[in-house]
Structure 1
């Protein structure tokens, strides 16, 4: 199996060598790595979330339930996103006469999440510093005004902007890898593969761009 370094330096050659009967083991490891980093980040942020829930007067049982839901979302989220991207790319490629099994598309798209591993580490580091080192004041009394100020603090600032900028960069990096993934998984030209990837990626970039603009006070 070609190495990760080959994927990052020569994605065209990497996916060409994978063949049409690609295994899901490698991509599964990539997604599990994203999950592992996200779980660690959630654990590190749990102290802040507990303070937030307690400040809001939430009952202990509700706090436990909300934290459990958070962990379920953190674990399931990357798998859902993987399936969503693969499904969208596979469906869109039909327009260009794409030919190939969905299992191959799923496998190749999974490899394209390697940048997300790096992105998750960067995001975890930023959030740890933001919430656990620098800190954000949790309102002692829940009022409409205090919650508005708190929400503004959560959505603005240079660290939020940096996190959103990283999200855009790593999404575009994945899009570059996905272009060659779809080229070989669905027997497309580079142009057709790029157009296949463009729509879903553009939506993801626009979401992160909006977060960035809010963070710097433009929106």
Structure 2
């Protein structure tokens, strides 16, 4: 009888089936899915945020060179753009989106780097506890342990989208921003609750994984992972 194809539900059977050395390519695929999902989720949030801030504000016109050029008699010819208005009306949401447009792209780099960092910490902690085995296997284990993060992404993303679509905004920009801040104030509670679930789920995957791959007794592996998980949750609370 074939064993489970993923360690998400029966990690002990999955890792035992692969003799503690799960295929790294499968874990890379998982990390790729999580990376795209995180970047896409951020892009969706920015779009929803822009749609919620459906109002305009007056900003300096970038096409206007400025009074120092346009009202300076030292210039024989009027500089290009001086006929443009000094200020223009812009959508507030569009301005915010433009300022944060780099974040989804940054996530495409940050998530894989976090995977490598997390695997390095787990590998080092296992080594300190007497574990033995190649880093490649720890990478694969850490990659699979990132899959539950999709649950947190869905929970937090769903909460934010719902709040942004149902919040009532006032006419002023300051009032609208205050209303949005109040609407999403509960995101930290949702995020931490989801982090607890994801931490336990991912921790079970890591514990059984390093138990098989790094030659730890299950209890010892669980203790190593539990310490790292608690430290991670405490870091989020700071």
Shorter-chain TM range is 0.7 to 0.9
The 3 A distance-change label for structure 1 pair 41 and 184 is same
Q: Give matches, 1:96-135, under 5 Å.
A: 96-131=129-164, 133-135=165-167
Q: Give matches, 1:1-219, under 5 Å.
A: 2-4=3-5, 7-50=7-50, 51=53, 66-131=99-164, 133-135=165-167, 137=169, 140-141=172-173, 149=178, 153=182, 156-157=185-186, 159-208=187-236, 210=237
CA distance in 1, matches of 2:103, 2:232: 21
The number of aligned residues is: 204
Structure number having the greater strand percentage? 2
Aligned-CA RMSD value: 3.5
Shift of 1:188: 0.8
Structure number having the greater helix percentage? 1
TM-score, normalisation: structure 1: 0.75
Which stretch shows the higher mean deviation, 80-89 or 62-71? 62-71
Q: Which consecutive unaligned segments of at least 5 residues does structure 2 have?
A: 63-89
Shift of 1:136: 7.2
Shift of 1:46: 1.8
Q: Which consecutive unaligned segments of at least 5 residues does structure 1 have?
A: 212-219
CA distance in 2, matches of 1:136, 1:74: 30
Give the number of the structure whose alpha-carbon radius of gyration is greater.
Answer: 2
TM-score, normalisation: structure 2: 0.70
